[in-house]
Amino acid sequence: MQPDFKEWLIKERLKYSLKGRFLVRFHATLILLGAVIVGWSANRLLFMGGVENMIIRFPAGVLAVYCGFLIGIELWIRYSGINEYLNSRRSKELLDPDGFKPPALKDPWIFPDGGVPLVDGEGCLIVLLVLFAVVLVFAMGGYLIFMAGDLFADVVFELLLVAGLIRGIRRVDVFGFTGGIPKVTLPALAVALAVSVVVGFWARHFHPEAKTLAEALKAEKASYQAAKEAGKQLRRR
């Protein structure tokens, strides 16, 4: 059995086992809420400390969110009861669950015939904008709730690996949970950092007088309304 396939199969078994023993999506939601509170608090403290540049403050807040997320994972490991399964006897309950059937391997590309369904005319733009907003929220961490089973399976897999309870797999990368970085969370971190930098740059460039995102949005709304009124005046002439 190939190591990559064996790792995938073990994680699928762990997902099945964990979903039957823990409220994984509820736990993931609590962890993400706690992480958001940590990030918001860090952003607020920086603002109160005199850091008004949003290009600095927003990415720092995102990193604080991620640190809060890792702390939440550590608390889950300590208090969820998963430690009871990190031994040679009870780990078998997770690694060889009753009733487990391996899912079929599927093509990850969801659109048939290599095409992306679009809507003709102006409706296409609206659909794309809505999809972009949904995908953005999903990519910035929302998918971790949907994929809670994958998240905790990744964490538990690394714990079992470190405990020597999984044989035949050698960890050669530094992005496992043992290195402090669950791989399934990296896309959310990358997207959130990119968005925070872009938003901070936009606010700093177009509304340098704004100190918060709310002030920048208010200034943008006022600018839009002024431009709209100016357009009406020109049409009247």
User: pLDDT tens-digit profile of 43-79?
Assistant: 999 999 989 889 999 899 889 988 898 899 889 989 9
* 221: in domain: no
Q: How many domains does the chain have?
A: 1
* 219: in domain: no
- 8 Å CB contact between 156 and 24: no
* 220: in domain: no
* 132: in domain: yes
Q: How much is the mean pLDDT over the chain? A: 77
pLDDT (mean) for 81-99 = 88
* 229: in domain: no
Rounded Cα distance between 237 and 145, Å, is 55
Q: Which residue has the higher pLDDT, 113 or 223?
A: 223
* 108: in domain: no
Domain encompassing residue 152? 3-103+117-206
pLDDT of residue 157 exceeding 80, the answer is yes
pLDDT (mean) for 105-129 = 45
* 215: in domain: no
Over the stretch 170-229, which tens digit does the pLDDT of each residue have?
A: 554 444 444 445 666 777 778 888 888 888 898 888 888 888 888 888 988 888 888 888
* 142: in domain: yes
